[in-house]
A = this chain, B = another copy of it.
Amino acid sequence: MKINTLLTPLSVDELYFTKKNVVVIDVLRATTTIVTALQNGAKEIIPVSSVEFAMTVSGNSFKGHTLLGGERNTLKIEGFALGNSPLDYKREIIEGKSIVLFTTNGSKAIVKAKYAANLFILSFLNANAVKEKMLETDEDWEILCSGNNGKFSYEDSVCAGMLITLIQNAKEEIILDDSSKTCKIIFDKHKKKLSKMLAETEHGQKLIESGFNEDLDFAAQQNVCDIVPFYQTGVIKAIVK
């Protein structure tokens, strides 16, 4: 089994992912939020790559059953029911609902990887569950870090490093590309203090400035749920291990 890690979505095009097995990460905050929303009973998440498309999808026949969620520049978008904080996605608000999600990095990365054979959503919360699903096949995997406006995201790379470490601990002869090796090294440096690591990242600093301190501690929780969000034909649903 070979694991390649893309540190940002920029280095490849959509077709790169065709029929590949892909795991998408956006720790702060889209993939943490998706895992949380499904854990709290959302029916499904519909990731979109533009606000306009989010409005179109939610405004048609789905009206009443859908909620709009997401952010621009870390803040909730005007007219949206939910922001991109996982703490917004409480059971009493989202249970049974379809959520149309637009975010600066994460939802776009998921949409970019839409031609994948298998597309899982990873955060620190569900890394062990994703690892278990990945090990059901002996095929190669791509880990796609959503990045930070086209630039490197430290926290996504640390999370990739956690997944890679879990896989290597469970299975011999995993071949890593150079970026996967890098992610493993930086995870190893921070594995005992993920919350502190998040607070020191560029994106973490920006969230703290915007008042989202609690999101960092929430996103730093390791293996607290068994949800594996799975994308297929435009929609993300939960596989519960």
Contact = CB atoms under 8 A, between A and B. Distances in A.
Interface stretch (A97-105, A130-138, A178-186, A213-221): A178-186
Interface centre among A6, A10, A182, by most B CB within 10 Å? A182
A28 to B, nearest CB: 12
A152 B182 contact: yes
A56 to B, nearest CB: 29
Interface residues of A, number: 24
B182 A186 contact: yes
A171 interface: no
A189 interface: yes
A154 to B, nearest CB: 4
A31 interface: no
A202 B185 contact: no
Contacts of A181: 154
A36 interface: no
A7 B185 contact: no
A178 B150 contact: no
Interface of A: 6-8, 10-12, 147-148, 150-154, 157, 177-179, 181-182, 185-186, 189, 201-202
Given A8-B11, A152-B179, 11 more contacts: A8-B8, A10-B10, A10-B11, A11-B147, A148-B178, A153-B178, A154-B181, A157-B182, A177-B202, A182-B182, A185-B189
